[in-house]
């Protein structure tokens, strides 16, 4: 059992490594190979070597040597078999013929359907195109192969893709009189259109709810389709941009609390921060500043927890306190001072935190630092 377990482990490791190199599931293939090894090895041992050993035809030493050789042979056969199978799957997935026609298309045009689903299950691109822009679905529709069309649609083939001539799979089915295929493709296109319409309707409804300050409706729509919070108009603006543009801090906060991205950039290269500043929306700018300050404090706290010096300096000699005072971050300044930041330290230019607070007009910060300097 000890030798068998050792060889089983070797089989698992070898096949797992082989599978990983072929971009397959290492654990899955390793387990399958190990089970096969144990089964084959046990059958051979029970059928041949165990009876001979019991009858006294083989000595214990010869049995051990023979068992080891047997296991090496089984291991070798399995490795070669799995290597060939994995290589074949990779070839099926990636190869093209001399006319640059992907293998999946050749399977359809030559009725080699037996390998088609295997290709798809192995992660092959179901919408792979020929040099004419034809997808497998277009080729199957042109050929009138309803069974293949249904199978491709089931696995997610896109019926809306057009080839280099601007034709879809349904265009070919319609032109060639493949009525059943045309009806299936039409139904699939309708379903896709409805799904797309539903998403756009939800996105529009969500935006309307934000504009009308209806949090209950917004939450209901968000629960039904969480991606609406990042839905974009033709200018790349998300609902958060609407709040920044219309100076609506209440709904702005609502969106942020529900995970809206404050760093999104629209088609014009603007962020919600730049829009808020452009529109002089003090309330929204303050919300964004609080978020930034909270992140700064969290960063400093993490650094402190990791044993870093609270008075550490950058290349210019600025400490976290100097930087916070320069930005006017009152909360960060207070937190740093309360946690041991030294207000008397200077940067490479001899400037202190109080110097920046004073020159930037941050009077409250200047007064607080002055108290800590005493």
CB atoms within 10 A of CB 314: 12
Domain membership flag for residue 134 = yes
* pTM exceeds 0.75: no
Residue finishing a domain among 54, 71, 94: 94
Residues 190 and 133 in one domain: yes
Helices (runs of H) and strands (runs of E) counted in the chain: 19, 0
The domain that holds 230 is classified in CATH as: 1.25.40.20
Residue finishing a domain among 71, 94, 117: 94
Domain membership flag for residue 179 = yes
Domain membership flag for residue 132 = yes
The pLDDT of residue 148: 87
Report mean pLDDT in 10-residue bins for the chain, 374 residues: 58 60 55 64 59 55 61 64 57 45 62 65 76 87 89 86 89 91 88 73 85 87 87 89 91 92 90 90 88 80 83 87 87 89 91 90 90 84
Residues 277 and 332 in one domain: no
CB atoms within 10 A of CB 299: 12
Residue finishing a domain among 94, 116, 144: 94
Domain membership flag for residue 303 = no
Length of the chain: 374
The pLDDT of residue 253: 92
Question: What range does the domain containing 70 cover?
Answer: 2-94
Residues 30 and 63 in one domain: yes
pLDDT tens per residue across span 241-261: 999 998 999 999 999 999 899
Residues 34 and 77 in one domain: yes
Q: How far is CA 231 from the centre of its chain?
A: 18
Residues 107 and 181 in one domain: yes
Residues 90 and 109 in one domain: no
Residues 111 and 186 in one domain: yes
Domain membership flag for residue 297 = no
Q: Are 341 and 310 in contact (CB under 8 A)?
A: yes
Q: What's the number of domains the chain is made of? A: 4
Residues 319 and 251 in one domain: no
Domain membership flag for residue 16 = yes
CB atoms within 10 A of CB 53: 17
Residues 20 and 45 in one domain: yes
The pLDDT of residue 300: 79
pLDDT tens per residue across span 189-236: 888 777 767 777 788 888 888 888 888 888 988 888 888 899 888 888
Domain membership flag for residue 300 = no
Q: In the chain, what's the furthest Cα-to-Cα distance?
A: 101
Residues 136 and 170 in one domain: yes
Domain membership flag for residue 290 = no
Residues 84 and 143 in one domain: no
Q: Are 326 and 356 in contact (CB under 8 A)?
A: yes
């Amino acid at each position: 059992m000890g030798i068998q377990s050792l060889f089983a482990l070797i089989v698992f490791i070898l096949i797992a490594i082989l599978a990983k190199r072929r971009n397959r599931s290492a654990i899955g293939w390793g387990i399958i190979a190990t089970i096969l090894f144990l089964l084959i090895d046990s059958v051979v041992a029970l059928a041949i070597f165990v009876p001979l050993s019991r009858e006294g035809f083989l000595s214990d030493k010869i049995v051990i040597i023979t068992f080891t050789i047997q296991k090496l042979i089984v291991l070798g056969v399995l490795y070669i078999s799995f290597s060939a199978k994995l290589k074949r799957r990779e070839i099926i997935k990636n190869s093209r013929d001399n006319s640059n026609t992907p293998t999946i298309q050749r399977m359809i045009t030559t009725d080699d359907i037996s390998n088609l689903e295997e290709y798809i299950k192995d992660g092959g691109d179901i919408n792979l195109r020929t040099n004419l822009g034809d997808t497998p679905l277009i080729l199957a529709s042109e050929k009138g192969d309803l069974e293949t069309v249904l199978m491709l649609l089931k696995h997610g083939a896109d019926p809306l893709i057009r080839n280099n001539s601007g034709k879809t799979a349904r265009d070919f089915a319609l032109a060639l009189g493949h009525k059943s295929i045309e009806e299936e493709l039409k139904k699939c296109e309708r379903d896709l259109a409805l799904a797309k319409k539903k998403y756009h309707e939800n996105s529009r409804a969500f935006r309307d709810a934000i504009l009308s300050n209806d949090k209950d409706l917004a939450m209901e729509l968000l629960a039904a389709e969480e991606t609406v919070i990042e839905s974009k108009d033709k200018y790349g603006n998300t609902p958060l941009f609407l709040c920044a543009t219309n100076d609506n801090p209440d709904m702005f906060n609502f969106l942020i609390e529900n995970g809206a991205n404050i760093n999104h950039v629209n088609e014009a290269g603007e962020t919600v921060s730049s829009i808020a500043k452009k529109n002089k929306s003090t309330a929204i700018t303050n919300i964004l500043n609080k978020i930034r300050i909270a992140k700064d404090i969290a960063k400093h706290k993490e650094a402190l927890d990791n044993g870093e010096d609270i008075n550490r300096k950058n290349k210019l000699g600025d400490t976290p306190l100097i930087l916070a005072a320069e930005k006017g971050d009152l909360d960060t300044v207070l937190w740093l001072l309360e946690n041991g930041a030294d207000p008397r330290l200077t940067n490479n230019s001899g400037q202190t935190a109080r110097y920046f607070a004073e020159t930037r007009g941050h009077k409250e910060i200047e007064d607080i630092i002055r108290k800590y300097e005493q």
